[in-house]
Structure 1
């Protein structure tokens, strides 16, 4: 029952005492379960009714002091000289230890029960801690209460720890359990409703489940009144510590063990942990469970655990050290052991560093990067083994880089550490070189390669370095000793066939050197589809993805990039997410999705600190400039160009994308000479570095456009022809753009034919923006040839594509060239029965300038069917080809 329900029970005894008939009440409950509060309420009630009240409290410190508890009671009695003599004689008769004579006890009882003109209430709290002599006195007193008109209320813990003293235990049992006339008062834990009623509006949150003990609840409320969060205040911590002390030393130590283990533990482990046998640990666990401090074998709430750990009396360091050793010997999960090592700050034992690395891997796999970082940091900082330190350093660098957390100071530490390890020539040299590339540390990378080349490597180390050298040539060519070396496939003697990073690097090198074949791209697709994001797989994912993007194979990179983005977000790997967003932006730009490219580029730039990007920041910045320029938002492009980039950017592949975008911005502003300068610099760098791949940056076409704008048609044609000649493989986007520029430099009559070829190529490439530009140029060519009807329809098609791509500048230009109110002379209608419906639909789209493939896609038929229909149309209309189709066919084509 609750305190409120129990008080009236004792009230009945007080009523009887007022008529001269005494009684005994035995109150039981858990430690901290409200017994003391209950006794206070009873004493207050008795005093209100005129009772004389005596009170005492058992203490573990005084349980071996004869009559110690009775002495507390006597302190509240106003003794006469005769009674003082009787008490003194009784105490002198009692031996120093053992049971006092019955006569002495009776004399003390008579003194205690002497009437003073008011009924008497005697309360004893924690009677289970009373000394044997006092227990004997209380036992004899309890048998004389009914006639003496005295009420005695005894309170004890329901699950008080057993004592070694058999006589005390027997006497206590007789006193609290074997009294036939005693009134039992069993204080049950507070229910959830009672907790809510007592707490009122105070925030106790999830702690209510383990607040059955009023002492803890009242402590929480006291803390809440001072503004402390639930379970985070000093009153609650003191209440927990006091409750554990009252439960006894074994229980307090086991509670500390449970707090350290942070979960259920078997009795043997607990015993070993706290230096007790399994039976003692089991008994302590039962006591803690009875006190509502333990539930399901573990501490009942995290706040309770925090309070136990905060107790200055707890030997936490010793407990954690023993827990780590015990759990490791028992084969516990590595993270369970590593948590103790981190709390201790210790990794001095030989087995600890390897375990911390294993725990870090487990934590990373579960997405807990913070714990993984703590494990690796401890392994790196506290181990005395240089090899172990290097192993931990590699993993720590990878974890901090992928999470995007390094501050500028930490980045400097990482670069210094990577350089130091690379100089040492250990087995992680290749990995450290790649981290220097990731951070864009050009000077340090150059220095590291010089140190590496001074000490020839062998075996697997040589193969790893060969791959890393290839990746360096692909991204940071000026960092290699002796100057830029064109990326070439590795020597078979240093290749590891099963190594996915090497295979991906080979594919990227082939693409950048403009030697890629279907086999290289098939390898890149296979590596990319099989890859899963990890610190070890990042370079292979990036290399395979970029090989396909630069080869204009965008479908697989787009699909895999989306999947890997979800994986990076699930792992909380911000740097991976930023790089993947940058690649998504590049893919969107190549597909002519200007809005999507801008959105992804901005998201990439804000995903991590600029220091984490290093020189690679030029990639998303370049895409952002190119996308906003194409959209016509030149102010946004200028703002992006105003962002600072590292000086080393222009010594890397990333700088090529940036320079190209800057040139496009200058061209849009009308600063043609500045644009031409940027494009030619890109060309010089690409040729010098041996990465003159059209899919990387079609600098010749950009420069040709600038020359054409400057009136230098021959120079423009030369560059366009060079670009077309350099296309060893299928590059429909580059080929289509080249054909469009070629048409601009051709005679007016030749332009429609060249532009239809450009439209065919760009339709295949999927680049909506370039396709819209080609369609606009085709419309202009038709108009220049005097075919206004066809021009207007093609302009409408171009406007639809430009709108889909978000190309505002092109849309405005089209509106200016052919406004909606433009009219042309009506055309004579074709004989309605001359063409079939199917033939008319195909002919209408062909007259509008759509390619056979576009027509097939629009009408959901095959290209072969389109060709058959057109053959019949040409025959019926007596024309040689689509150039002869009458313009009136396309007047009903929707824009």
Structure 2
């Protein structure tokens, strides 16, 4: 039967199959019975005509707690290609499917990258259509993988079509899939459909059915067969409930053995007819044939049976069978399924857990084992939660609830984690359990939007937890409080309280966690100690990416941007290799922010672009905002003021919504830089001074002292030198407290620029300082010194300084500063060659990232593995990059994009030959 009233939707889906690959696919949304599955089936039929290969999966309520169950079904036809995957991807995928002895949870992002590789390679041979139905019931791991795919297939011969029940939310909502919302059929199409399915209905019944079906195709076809029941239901009964009652009545009319078999099929987590027959024999005490059991249900239009599987014609039919059974009947079926599933221990345990009516510690212990073996934290959440429900002991119940909450945190499911923690707190938890409950939620948004008194409460809690002997839990709580001091302004009293707790912990001073806490809480007061520890720990980079990430953040707080970039760069490869896409954007943002401050825009631009994309994908709004702000800063330094303004507005909107002061401080810096470049010196000073005003949301104690060079320059050029002197006098004591490199570099520059005497000595001293790794600051000093020399009529002497500044700014891509250097040189009687855009400036940040990796000799596959892209996408980007750079081969890229001196050559992907 053709679809009625869906021509527009079918046209859109056909365009995905036949058109250019510039859209990832479609997300079909609508209420139960509205025709989502029918539309998907029509698309599958069209794919067959077009020669497109189809891979399918579907969610079922019974499978939601089995990690990667839906993905296993989707990729089963491609299992022969698993051996072609790179080693890490192969290991992750086989671990996810339980095909290897690997223990622990594989990274969902490595599993997703393996899936992308398989699909793209298969699509190169024959285009692919991926169909995922009933996404609301797919396990969370599979949904995450499909979301990952959907964001990365725009240029691939792969189309994703997913169906989602109306009212549900999904990780697919923001993936770029074209939304297709199905509404009820028009009156004309509804009447046409009813004429086909029930031509003999009496007019009164027909009119009422048309009214109450409201254009729902399932209601029009299924209620018509039970039209007499319309008289028995009140008009207010929801349509879904009417359908469920219709299906229930249809099931009650079947023979008892068939009803038993249908209940087994409905409660089983596979569609296996063999399992259905075996479990039905246990329940019934006899073994009817397949035909005897299923023929009545097939004739009644309840199920279909083919290829060894039994499928309900609609999910509402499955739920009707389940809801019409008693608790005792459902328990017997689950017990029977557990009895026949000796070959599948985890499935057996889940059915055992569903069969017991009350607490059962033995089953709870077995569920603990399921959680420990889970290949995705979402599956562990379900197992721990059910184990908690079955716990006979209140203490064990709390432990299991908190273990479930910890798994929910790993899965990024904040609402679930909060609900589990709330439940645990109602059960009189011990001090240890209270401590665990507190630190569990600290990873979400680092306390943004919380009352600042919460930071003091966390300090007191950390102290009490430490007194109980739980040092690790105390440190976790303290870390959560310290992070809040970065994103918001807690005040001096709270900061002192946190430091007191940290000082009392029985932890060595150079413990990376303690170093990071001190840096976040007291970047000035503890700056010397933090810097000493950081320099001592710098020799150990590369051992633990999570430690390197903490230390990179700590170094940024104390103004050691060179160390921050070093630690963050060391952290990124390990986080990539293990697929930690939650932590990776944090390390990348620190690397981008620090690199931009150091003047290394060639590194900062692609890193910031990747950080922005990953932070958005992994739901980290404050890191997303900070990465966007860094991109805005880079655009301002390049002289692209229109793009900088747009990005700054985006970052400001995110920062204001989240209350994230560092984001707003970076926005203020960006606008100050743009104003300086455009000669709007009053605007520049006003923006940069915001960071020093405690009443301004951009006020940031940890960062405000690190932009003194820009602020002083704006003040001097805007005629507000005295205001700058007052500000420097206020900050002077900090220079005696901390050896922060950024602070002292900025202070030396500011003193020289504001000096009324001994100016030359101050410039000479500033340039004599160790500026290794700080080329932008050296060039800024050289430009200012050259300008001063020219004003002193020492024109010949000024040229060398101005020329050196111009060359550095040209190399760094600082367009406005390059132009200033040229103007000054022209005034000093020396012409400059025209500055052509650097090769990197002709590319988008994303393209630059790919081009630089290719220039270092990495293959397309290795680049894809590093950036979580398909190798075909990398190839497409390179074909766009070559003309932009005027090159014709990968070999030419190395000359067009030379690796800056001192940059370590990136290792190959190290995939051991797979």
TM-score w.r.t. length of structure 1? 0.52
Query: Aligned in 2, Cα 1:274/1:485: closer, same or farther, shift over 3 Å?
Result: farther
Give the distance between the partners of 1:248 and 1:588, measured in 2 at CA: 73
Give the distance between the partners of 1:316 and 1:773, measured in 2 at CA: 84
2:465 is the counterpart of 1:424: yes
Query: Aligned in 2, Cα 1:668/1:739: closer, same or farther, shift over 3 Å?
Result: closer
Of 772, 784, 790, the residue aligned with 1:729 is 772
Give the distance between the partners of 2:312 and 2:818, measured in 1 at CA: 67
Q: 1:734 offset after TM fit, Å?
A: 1.3
CA contact (8 A) 1:436 1:444 kept: no
2:732 is the counterpart of 1:700: no
**Unpaired segments ≥5 residues, structure 1:** 2-189, 806-856, 863-895
Q: Write out aligned runs for 1:391-430 (5 A).
A: 391=436, 393-398=438-443, 400-401=444-445, 407-408=449-450, 416-417=457-458, 420-421=461-462, 423-425=464-466, 426=470, 427-430=472-475
Query: Aligned in 2, Cα 1:361/1:436: closer, same or farther, shift over 3 Å?
Result: closer
Counterpart for residue 496 of structure 2: 446
Larger radius of gyration: 1
Counterpart for residue 610 of structure 2: 563
Q: 1:386 offset after TM fit, Å?
A: 5.2
Q: 1:439 offset after TM fit, Å?
A: 1.9
Query: Aligned in 2, Cα 1:722/1:439: closer, same or farther, shift over 3 Å?
Result: same
Q: Write out aligned runs for 1:131-150 (5 A).
A: none
Q: Write out aligned runs for 1:329-344 (5 A).
A: 331=370, 335=378, 338-339=381-382
Q: 1:328 offset after TM fit, Å?
A: 3.3
Of 685, 696, 701, the residue aligned with 1:652 is 701
Counterpart for residue 530 of structure 1: 574
Of 239, 242, 254, the residue aligned with 2:246 is 239
Give the distance between the partners of 1:291 and 1:542, measured in 2 at CA: 60
Q: What is the root-mean-square deviation in Å for CA atoms of aligned residues?
A: 5.9
Counterpart for residue 516 of structure 2: 471
2:621 is the counterpart of 1:578: no
Give the distance between the partners of 2:532 and 2:250, measured in 1 at CA: 74
Counterpart for residue 767 of structure 1: 814
2:536 is the counterpart of 1:488: no
Give the distance between the partners of 2:263 and 2:739, measured in 1 at CA: 66
Give the distance between the partners of 1:378 and 1:387, measured in 2 at CA: 16
Give the distance between the partners of 2:195 and 2:430, measured in 1 at CA: 58
Q: Write out aligned runs for 1:281-292 (5 A).
A: 291-292=300-301
Give the distance between the partners of 1:624 and 1:297, measured in 2 at CA: 63
Give the distance between the partners of 1:588 and 1:569, measured in 2 at CA: 20
CA contact (8 A) 2:608 2:631 kept: yes
Query: Aligned in 2, Cα 1:328/1:246: closer, same or farther, shift over 3 Å?
Result: farther
CA contact (8 A) 1:288 1:294 kept: yes
Give the distance between the partners of 2:616 and 2:245, measured in 1 at CA: 43
**Unpaired segments ≥5 residues, structure 2:** 2-191, 200-205, 335-350, 357-362, 843-892, 899-914
Q: Write out aligned runs for 1:348-747 (5 A).
A: 384=429, 387=432, 390-391=435-436, 393-398=438-443, 400-401=444-445, 407-408=449-450, 416-417=457-458, 420-421=461-462, 423-425=464-466, 426=470, 427-440=472-485, 441=490, 443-457=493-507, 462=508, 466-477=511-522, 485=529, 487-489=531-533, 498-503=543-548, 524-532=568-576, 533=580, 541=588, 548-607=595-654, 610-611=657-658, 613=660, 617-628=664-675, 630-631=677-678, 652-656=701-705, 670-679=719-728, 681=730, 684-693=733-742, 698-702=746-750, 704-705=752-753, 707=754, 712-714=755-757, 716-746=759-789, 747=792
Cα displacement string for residues 517-540 of structure 1 (whole angstroms, at most 9, x for unaligned residues): 8x9966553323433455566765
Q: Secondary structure at the match of 2:499?
A: helix
CA contact (8 A) 1:578 1:605 kept: yes
Cα displacement string for residues 543-564 of structure 1 (whole angstroms, at most 9, x for unaligned residues): 5555545544443343333233
Q: Secondary structure at the match of 1:328?
A: helix
Give the distance between the partners of 1:770 and 1:537, measured in 2 at CA: 32
Counterpart for residue 152 of structure 2: none
Q: Secondary structure at the match of 1:693?
A: helix
2:372 is the counterpart of 1:328: no
Query: Aligned in 2, Cα 1:238/1:767: closer, same or farther, shift over 3 Å?
Result: same
Cα displacement string for residues 297-330 of structure 1 (whole angstroms, at most 9, x for unaligned residues): 5655455567778889779998996269599389
Query: Aligned in 2, Cα 1:587/1:387: closer, same or farther, shift over 3 Å?
Result: farther
CA contact (8 A) 1:660 1:678 kept: no
Cα displacement string for residues 334-372 of structure 1 (whole angstroms, at most 9, x for unaligned residues): 745744876999485677777777777877787766656
CA contact (8 A) 1:347 1:353 kept: no
Query: Aligned in 2, Cα 1:274/1:422: closer, same or farther, shift over 3 Å?
Result: farther
CA contact (8 A) 1:345 1:378 kept: no
Q: Which has the higher contact order (CA 8 A, sep 6+)?
A: 2
Give the distance between the partners of 1:192 and 1:496, measured in 2 at CA: 74
Counterpart for residue 143 of structure 1: none
TM-score w.r.t. length of structure 2? 0.51
